[in-house]
Structure 1
Amino acid sequence: MRTTTDLLTEIRGLVAAHAHPDLRTPVDGLLLSRVETVEPDHSLTEPLLVVMAQGGKRLLLGDQVFEYRAGQCLVVTADLPVSGHFLDASAEHPALGVGLVLRSAAIAPLLLEAPPGRRPRGSVGLPALATGEADVDLLDATARLLRLLDRPADARVLGPVIEREILWRLLTGPHGDMVRQIGLADSSLSHVGRAIGWIRENYAEPMRISGLARLAGMSPSAFHRHFRAVTAMSPLQFQKRIRLQEARSLLIARAGDVAGVGHLVGYDSPTQFSREYRRLFGAPPGQDAARLREDSAPYAGRRLP
């Protein structure tokens, strides 16, 4: 068995050789990230496994802080609005990461063979984000998946096989209870996920907790507990973060129409919109948008969380 150091060296080389600004690769579900700046970024992430090969990242979800570095991994099991910045990243020493989309259709069949979950049924939902060490077996499978980028003829057949191995390592590892929630149709994550999906699609609309609770199949009080456990935010905080991140994207093209953008994302009061925007992004909407257009680095490409 190769050592962790040997595997990380190979992974770094493969990521550096194949990473592109849009993250995607020819191997289905495999994402690569190369970042040379430590500027703060805000994004809406999907369920992912991320293995950091070089550098590191500090993430903020609600009021919780997570950090992971080379040789460690990040597991995300829901669509979450996160903010953060890369650590020790530069043109000479970029942050390099590998992502694998965590799909329920791939995880569900493995649950028939995986060990039973360790958490009692009916307990409050698990957090949807965690970090930890990437052990040698996970790194070895990650390296083999990356090698398929140089062997496109093999990728269609071997890619799903290696993806299955990686998912098995996750299900039988420290984050197994988190990951199995993705594949369970009746898990608290799947119920909360329906509400998350509604907020994402209808972020500009008025939100009623009673309606979201019905969508999740829970009482309002239970829904509040499970939603906060999964996302580290209340539903209102979650909606606000989605609104402001959507506004920031719109303002890049419509910087002169701050009030109009605020209205589009659900704010009736321009003053409230500007105040909450500044609190999150550190500058008023118009000023922030002008800076983003002058310095395109934060939007030069998508990034892994």
Structure 2
Amino acid sequence: MSPAQPRDATQAMPLAVLIARHARTSGDFATAVPNLTLHRRAVPTEPVPCIYSLGLGVVAQGGKRVMLQDSIIDYRAGQGMLTSIDQPVVTHVSQASAAEPFLGAMLTLDMHLILQTAAQMPAPPPTRAGDYRTLVIDELEPGLVDALERLLGLLDEPTLLPQLAPLIQQEIVVRLLAGRHRLALQHLLAAGSPIQQIFRAVAWLKQHFTQPVRVDDLAQRAHMSSSSFRQHFRAITGVSPLQFHKQLRLQEARQLMLNQNIDVGRAAGLVGYESASQFSREYSRVFGAPPQRDIQRVRQAG
């Protein structure tokens, strides 16, 4: 029997139909499936900084562009993007129209589920030290597409969703660990690996980003020397620990202003800034416009 071939864009159409059914207008939509969001755009969007968390992003129709450090990566219908650690990127929808809107889905993954599942599977073949990647974009394998379609299909079966969604999500994790996206996960699974230690520090930062941070304290949490921590943190995430901390604050403030209509001064205070003027300066450098103008621009584009 010949090995299964990856699906092309036309084969991914059932997934696009399912997404379109539950994302009827342009925007980002939470779903009844835990950790699953759906995304639709009728026009290409402007590049915007954001942070990709541990998870699987899927394009069912259209295309996206991701700028990661010095790399520019395009991915299209029938492909998935797996990130193994929070990754600051600049991204935008590159292919979308009213007739053929961009349609995508994002499934945030649970680190504990990945570790528990991996412990019950055969150990993967070893990889060279330089082979690990924290972001992998590749073709979606047929079995993975099938699991994703069944997960989205549960949105039409709300009475079965609570029981079946966790099972299908675990199946997706199994397929990611065994499939071509696994390179993004292998070094995350190695006990004591630098990426696992940095993951621990990033998890703490995400929970305490409103607080002031000292790199030495973060290094201690990761059980590393300060110099080694700085080196590995930048190599893995692409930014310094303090830059990452700043981006967490600014991203959260942007969401507060967009989703809860909070004014600039209050948003700055809620994410830990003591000076609204400093917040506005740093916000402008990251998003390309002062807070009020940026929020107005995003709402008009939507």
TM-score bracket, normalised by the shorter chain, equals: 0.7 to 0.9
Superposed displacement of residue 78, structure 1 = 2.3
C-alpha displacement of 1:282: 1.6
Residue from 271, 283, 291 that aligns with 1:285: 291
Of residues 209, 226, 238, the one that matches 1:220 is 226
How far apart are the structure 1 equivalents of 2:125 and 2:220? 26
Measure the CA separation in 1 of the matches of 2:87 and 2:199: 10
Unpaired segments ≥5 residues, structure 2: none
Q: 1:185 to 1:156 in 2, by over 3 A?
A: farther
Q: Please point out which of 116, 125, 136 is paired with 1:130.
A: 136
Q: Structure 1: 5+ residue runs without aligned partners?
A: 298-305
Q: 1:289 and 1:53 mapped to 2: Cα distance? A: 28
User: What pairs with 1:218-297 in structure 2 (closer than 5 Å)?
Assistant: 218-251=224-257, 253-255=261-263, 257-258=264-265, 261-262=267-268, 265-267=271-273, 272-292=278-298, 295=300, 297=302
Structure 2 contact 62–94 (Cα < 8 Å) conserved = yes
8 Å CA contact 1:53–1:96 kept in 2: the answer is yes
- Residue 272 of structure 1 deviates from its aligned partner by 4.8
* Residues 1:200 and 2:203 aligned together: no
Change (3 A) 1:268 1:134: same
CA contact (8 A) 1:170 1:176 kept: yes
Per-residue deviation at 1:250? 4.5
Output the CA distance in 2 between the equivalents of 1:273 and 1:29. Answer: 30
Q: Residue 64 of structure 2 aligns to a residue in which SS?
A: strand
Q: Distance in 2 between matches of 1:250 and 1:28?
A: 21
Partner residue of 1:15? Answer: 19
1:235, CA displacement in angstroms?
0.8
- Report the alpha carbon displacement of residue 58 of structure 1 after superposing the two structures with TM: 1.3
Cα deviations by residue, 1:56-79 (Å, 9 ceiling, x for unpaired):
111234444332110111102223
Once the two structures are superposed, residues 172-231 of structure 1 have per-residue CA deviations (whole angstroms, 9 ceiling, x without a partner) of: 223314224555664433321222133233334332111110001111122122212321
Q: Is the 8 A contact 1:127 1:229 kept in 2?
A: no
2 CA distance for matches of 1:22 and 1:290? 17
Task: Tell me, in whole angstroms, the C-alpha distance in 1 between the residues paired with 2:293 and 2:107.
Answer: 36
Alignment of 1:168 with 2:171, yes or no, is no
8 Å contact kept, 1:62–1:232: yes
Q: 1:207 to 1:92 in 2, by over 3 A?
A: same
Higher relative contact order (CA 8 A, sep 6+): 1
Letter in 2 for 1:211: D
**Whole-angstrom CA distance in 1 between matches of 2:267 and 2:154:** 43
Alpha-carbon contact 2:28-2:40 (below 8 Å) kept: no
Does the C-alpha gap of structure 1 residues 166 and 10 become closer, same or farther in structure 2, counting only changes over 3 Å? same
CA shift at 1:239, angstroms? Answer: 1.6
Instruction: Give the equivalent residue in structure 2 for 1:60.
Output: 67
Contact 1:117 1:177 in 2 (8 A): no
Task: Provide the aligned C-alpha RMSD in A.
Answer: 3.2
* Pair 1:4-2:7 in alignment: yes
Report the residue type matching 1:169 in the other structure: R
User: What displacement does 1:113 show?
Assistant: 1.5
Q: TM-score, normalised by structure 1?
A: 0.80
**What residue in structure 2 maps to residue 113 of structure 1?**
121
- Identity across aligned pairs (percent)? 38
Structure 1 residue 84 and structure 2 residue 86: aligned?
A: no
In 1, the alpha carbon distance for the partners of 2:192 and 2:131 equals 12
Secondary structure of the 2:89 match is strand
Q: Secondary structure at the match of 1:98?
A: strand
Count of aligned residue pairs for this structure pair: 292
- Equivalent position amino acid for 1:128 in 2: T
**Preserved CA contact (<8 Å) 1:7 1:139:** no
Change (3 A) 1:265 1:160: closer
CA offset digits 1:45-92 (Å, max 9, x no partner):
432112211011112344443321101111022234433111222332
Q: CA distance change for structure 1 residues 172 and 254 in 2, over 3 Å: closer, same or farther?
A: closer
Mapped to 2, the partners of 1:154 and 1:270 lie a distance apart of 48
